Structure 1
């Protein structure tokens, strides 16, 4: 009878040792990953208010090319988003309504989808009845140039091509209206 409690204790000790070893291995892997990422990360310039907005050229769902510099003289509401992003989906209808209200006043919306398929993006645009230009950053080069994290992120570009404001997270329709008013050319 003495042997059975000893066996149970040994099994508990083995399970505890295995659990501790597993946790230690996960911690070491996480630290290693962090160190590796820090050592190999490219130098990314963080854009600030007043900086010239990096120029880019992307193609929309109809095959038209959109170059940021072509919008000089207008305000650009540059929105980075994904179809899977719930806050993105929530703000898109409001963005479209405000685009329709402000497009004749020199404010343009350019929605930059991050590397999803044409089919996914077109289905999303159709579902929400979006009328503003939607381009797809297939290589994530524009996302990298603008150092975008998280989604949604909106960059307000004034009529001089300078970054006027960076907004991260979901916006209300009132927010969007105010931001469009802010970048409306004089």
Structure 2
């Protein structure tokens, strides 16, 4: 004895299927077919548009559009990877590039060799880079510093709350350039290339 589930007027009920009709199929109502085809067509159109736009939209190099600002540098005190406490105010008289970063951030990784090279060139000219990590463990940060052979100061902010409040941003990487008088002059959202550092930061160092 075979039963099948049949729906009539929105009510489900079990119906006995005679032996001779056990291979019988229940065709889809014709009135539903246009809607199903329309749905498939819509999905295909959306997918096609997505891939077309993904291939056509240019990848903007955000490092080519630094924003010029003129605001006092925030007060911020954190510890470095050696456990020593520092304040941004301690670097008054130097040009400071504050870089907000994380080990899991691809553009952060890409720009680190550039930052190190620029630091090597100008560190004897009243310039310093301070890289503030995005709340990761000290062990992870130390490994990253070792892997990338970083020699500029690296600060830790275990909760990242102080840094977020000081600079009012969650974007990574983001960089702020502070002049000798303690004024934020430039900010970048995204990776930085060496050419842009030479164009926008180097002139501040020699002012």
TM-score (norm 1): 0.73
Say what the alpha-carbon RMSD is for the aligned residues. 2.6
Structure 2 gap segments, 5+ residues each: 1-20, 37-67
Retained in 2: the 8 A contact 1:107–1:183?
Answer: no
Task: Give runs of ≥4 in structure 1 deviating > 2 Å.
Answer: 1-5, 176-180
TM-superposed CA distance for 1:182, in Å, is: 3.2
Higher helix share: 1
User: Is 1:61 the counterpart of 2:73 in the alignment?
Assistant: no
SS where residue 129 of structure 2 aligns? strand
Q: Which of the two has greater strand per residue?
A: 2
Partner of residue 148 from structure 1, selected from 157, 161, 169 = 169
Q: Give aligned pairs, total.
A: 152
Q: Deviations over 1:29-56 (max 9, x none)?
A: xxxxxxxxxxxxxxxxxxx811111111
CA shift at 1:145, angstroms? 2.0
Is 1:91 aligned with 2:111? yes
Structure 1 CA distance for aligned equivalents of residues 132 and 203 of structure 2: 21
TM-score under structure 2 length normalisation:
0.66
Task: Structure 1: give runs of 5+ residues left out of the alignment.
Answer: 17-47
Superposition deviation, residue 185 in structure 1? 5.2
Distance 2:81 2:197 in 1: 23
Between the aligned partners of 1:66 and 1:178, the Cα distance in structure 2 is 29
Residue 156 (structure 2) aligned to one of 132, 136, 147: 136
